[in-house]
Amino acid sequence: MIYERVTEELKERFREAWAVAVLTGAGVSAESGVPTFRGGGGAAVWRGMPVEKIATPEMWRADPVTFWQWYAYRREVIGRAEPNAAHRAIAAWERRFERLTVITQNVDGLHQRAGSRNVLELHGSLWRVRCPQCGVKMEDRRVPLPEIPPRCPSCGGILRPDVVLFGEAVPEAVFSQAVAATATCDLFLVVGTSAIVYPAAALPVLAKQNRAFVIEVNPETTPVTEIADVTILGRAGEVLPRLSPEGNGGG
């Protein structure tokens, strides 16, 4: 069912839930000024290249400069961004439910900055790098980067962001935790994702199969709309605080 606003019935569902999982995508950070990949009818492109071409291990190997220019650009945008009312509402829910798991496809770290502690980063983090040559992995918050591509301080190899690129597997440990949280929750929220990138896109279906009540929050319909119990058409920063008026962000 498609709703234009948060109803009393939805607030009641929310009050009664005890184990909640929230799957988020780029749309949850849109109101922080972080551009989404897709949505608004647009394809995911940067400088005319599809994101599915840039964010690949093949691109990192063949053209590390272009590859890193895209990541340097995103580090600049995200480095300036602040968590918004949606991130804050989700962080406040951790105190409210027996169990709350944030499963995010985002690599921006904004959920954690808003105070969420139980966050599964399915696609890794923009703020970690690793060196495929010597295996070193480290936090790296430098903006701007001193050189493009950035090099490993230990061996001089070309670094890569510690994110899951297209064609790479989501780390088994993280994904199995996401599957467990999804299969055992009674309320599953899908917020700000076009729900087309796998394996994340399989989680709402799994939640439904395990009888969770599935609520989608997105200004547009997506493939999840077909299986969701309710889709609330709206922006995350406006809708999420209304589900729990006593949480941060007001009613």
Task: Give the binding site for ligand BV8 (CB under 6 A).
Answer: 25-27, 30-31, 36-39, 52, 55, 105-107, 123, 163-169, 192-194, 196-198, 217-220, 222, 235-236
Binding partner at 123 among ligand BV8, Zn ion, none, C-beta below 5 to 8 Å by kind: ligand BV8
Active centre residues (catalytic): 123
Binding partner at 155 among Zn ion, ligand BV8, none, C-beta below 5 to 8 Å by kind: Zn ion
Shortest Cβ 98–ligand BV8 spacing (Å): 26
* CA–CA gap between residue 248 and residue 227 (Å, rounded): 29
Shortest Cβ 3–ligand BV8 spacing (Å): 14
* CA–CA gap between residue 74 and residue 239 (Å, rounded): 26
* CA–CA gap between residue 162 and residue 126 (Å, rounded): 7
Shortest Cβ 212–ligand BV8 spacing (Å): 19
Q: Which residue is nearest to ligand BV8 (CB)?
A: 27
Binding partner at 90 among ligand BV8, Zn ion, none, C-beta below 5 to 8 Å by kind: none
Shortest Cβ 206–Zn ion spacing (Å): 38
Shortest Cβ 122–ligand BV8 spacing (Å): 8
Residue 40 CB-density burial (10 A; 0-12 exposed, 13-18 middle, 19+ buried): exposed
Backbone phi and psi for residue 51, each to the nearest 5 degrees, phi listed first: -60, -35
Binding partner at 164 among Zn ion, ligand BV8, none, C-beta below 5 to 8 Å by kind: ligand BV8
CB 84 within 8 A of CB 32: yes
Is the CB of 63 or the CB of 220 nearer to ligand BV8? 220
Read off the tokens for 158.
């070309």
Closest by CA to 102, choosing from 192, 12, 165, 37, is: 192
Residues at the interface with Zn ion (CB under 5 A): 131, 133-134, 136, 152, 154-155, 157
Binding partner at 231 among ligand BV8, Zn ion, none, C-beta below 5 to 8 Å by kind: none
Is the CB of 130 or the CB of 242 nearer to Zn ion? 130
* CA–CA gap between residue 16 and residue 48 (Å, rounded): 47
Is the CB of 111 or the CB of 123 nearer to ligand BV8? 123
* CA–CA gap between residue 138 and residue 161 (Å, rounded): 10
* DSSP characters over 102-164: EEE---S-HHHHHT--SEEETTEEEEEEE-TTT--EEE---SS-SSSS-B-TTT-PBPEEEE-
Is the CB of 102 or the CB of 164 nearer to ligand BV8? 164
